[in-house]
A and B are shown apart, each in its own frame.
Chain A
Amino acid sequence: MIRMYINAAFLAFCLLFSLGCSKVQKHVKDYYPEVRTVSATVQPDGSVLVKGEVLQEGADPVSFLGFCMDTLPVPGMLSGQQLTDTIRDRVFQTRYKDLKPFTRYYFRAFAANANGYAYGNPVVIENVIIDPFIIPCKPAADSIYVTGSLRKDRERTYGTPGIRQTDGWEVKAYYNSYVLTFAFDNYPIQGEYELTDASYPVDRYVQVMLSGPMTFGTVLDGGTKLYIKPIDADHFELSMCDAVLSFGDNYKISTRFICKKEE
């Protein structure tokens, strides 16, 4: 009777142990995940969408997925690292914002499991510019249009070099005795920005203010789009279409001019 109990306990013990067995991988690389960097494409807003694919999870489930990015070939994990927790059909992605136009960037996917990590192949973008760059209106170059119930002007203007403010960066455009001031959170890169009446615009928002003898610094209404198109490494073109100025009557202001970027 005692032996029966001993045997039963012993068999249970063996069973428990055998449950703990795991597969031994013949090739050491099979312990690690395998990923590839699928693509890196410039989006309409100037960001870069990078996609990766998990080819093989490895001996353990993948615990981290991400990308790294650098202007040097073969970026390391700490360079521009972005992790992602969303994967669909083995494909994962992330978005890099505010990359400089006319600069070569390298992207690499990576994945990690309990055993370690592995990189994918590097993918390069030669020039981070939006192509095609679509602006819904086309004001004449170096111009400011003001349309409204009282006046309809077109004046020649120019953009000043950027002037750093304490909390951002701005560019000014002049016409007659008026000044349009575009206040950004940072140097504008490219793509769409949106007008806001907030005092401290952030990210992709810009505050536009009209100053002059009659307006004393009136902020244009929020919501209108503003477009930054890079011309070369040092210049960009700023376009704004029918931004609303609620000053007594509604005025609409459109402009397009080239500005030199200065840091």
Chain B
Amino acid sequence: MLYCAMILLGATGRVQAQFGSYSYYSTASSMPFSISSIGILANWSKPLGNFGADFAPAPAFELFLETKSDRNDRFRGNVSFIYANYKPRLDTIPVYMVGGSSMMSYKLYPGKLAYKDAKNMMLMIDYSYVVVRKGKFDLALGGGMGIGKMWHEYYLEYETQLNQITSVQDFTLCLRAQSSLTYKLMPYVHLRGAFGYQWQTFTNWSVQFPVRNLGFGLVFNFENDDDE
């Protein structure tokens, strides 16, 4: 999986993924990529849109590996694993169903929707570019995509209809845009703040789950950046 991710990140160049003593090479390239750091971000993840009414902001944890094409390059790629567990904002959400075929015959059927929670796991591949590099600060803009799975259980009831308790595991496709500010605290340790917008859709394409993330974390470099 990691190998595939690295190939995606360096699709136009030679891929060299190094982690510890392991190295992977792709033969059709001339641009080297290597895993230069590992990091963790604790995000404050706010669901937006209709899901903002349903789910409260929740912490989302992101573990990532970062690559650089070379030391002086401003391009970098990330492979991230993200986990979040969103809790409902209300015990029961006042939902409704529309019956009838025209405005004259519409009828609203009130209902109740109760979520237990929504666990979200994703594997993301991001690509970012350092637009500003000043002193110990790097400001980067980036975006990426990923796949994952969301588990949620809910209870849905409409008046005049049978009650439903449904547990759903749905595959999700995710796109995101992110800006990050990195501060080189120590040669091997950087502080990072990130702000991003994430958009997910599911097997049922009509459902979308937009999220805004604000995160802080640490990045551990395998190499001393001061050597640059």
Chain A residues at the B interface, C-beta cutoff of 8 Å: 2-3, 6-7, 10-11, 13-14, 17-18, 20-22, 24-25, 28, 31-32, 59-60, 64, 66, 76-78, 81, 83, 85, 110, 112, 114-118
Contact = CB atoms under 8 A, between A and B. Distances in A.
Contacts, number: 94
Contacts of B141: 10-11, 14
Given A14-B141, A24-B46, A112 B108 contact: yes
Contacts of A10: 127, 129, 141-143
Contacts of A20: 197, 199, 210
Interface string B193-224: 00001010000000000101000000000000
23 contacts: A2-B12, A3-B75, A6-B129, A10-B129, A11-B141, A17-B176, A17-B197, A21-B48, A21-B210, A21-B212, A22-B210, A24-B52, A32-B53, A59-B53, A60-B50, A76-B159, A78-B110, A81-B107, A81-B108, A83-B103, A83-B106, A83-B108, A117-B110
B78 to A, nearest CB: 14
Given A24-B46, A114-B50, A64 B159 contact: no
Interface of B: 12, 46-50, 52-53, 57, 75, 89-90, 93-96, 98, 103, 106-110, 127, 129, 141-143, 159-160, 175-177, 179, 197, 199, 210, 212
A21 B52 CA distance: 12
A78 B48 contact: no
A110 B107 CA distance: 13
B53 A112 contact: no
In the A-B complex, the 5 residue pairs with the smallest Cβ-Cβ separation, listed nearest first, are A31-B53, A17-B177, A115-B53, A116-B94, A77-B110
Nearest to B89: A28
B108 A66 contact: yes
B175 A78 contact: no
Given A10-B127, A10-B141, 4 more contacts: A7-B129, A14-B179, A66-B108, A116-B93
Contact of B53 (A6, A28, A77): A28
A83 B99 CA distance: 12
B175 A17 contact: yes
Contacts of B94: 32, 116-118
A11 B127 CA distance: 12
Contacts of A78: 107, 109-110, 159-160
Nearest to A14: B177
B213 to A, nearest CB: 12
Nearest to B107: A81
Contacts of A118: 94
A2 B90 CA distance: 50
Contact of A22 (B52, B57, B93, B95): B52
B52 A25 contact: yes
Contacts of A112: 96, 108
A203 B109 CA distance: 28
Contacts of B160: 78
Given A20-B197, A85-B103, A115 B50 contact: yes
A178 B46 CA distance: 81
Contacts of A85: 103
B108 A64 contact: yes
Given A18-B177, A20-B197, A78-B159, A117 B48 contact: no
Contacts of A2: 12
Contacts of A77: 96, 108-110, 159
B96 A116 contact: yes
Contacts of B175: 17
A28 B93 CA distance: 10
Contacts of B159: 76-78
A112 to B, nearest CB: 6
Contacts of A31: 52-53
Q: Which of A13, A21, A77, A116 has the most CB of B within 10 A?
A: A116
Nearest to A66: B108
Given A77-B110, A116-B93, A117-B96, A13 B52 contact: no
A254 to B, nearest CB: 40
Contacts of B50: 60, 114-115
Contacts of A17: 143, 175-177, 197, 199
Contacts of B47: 24
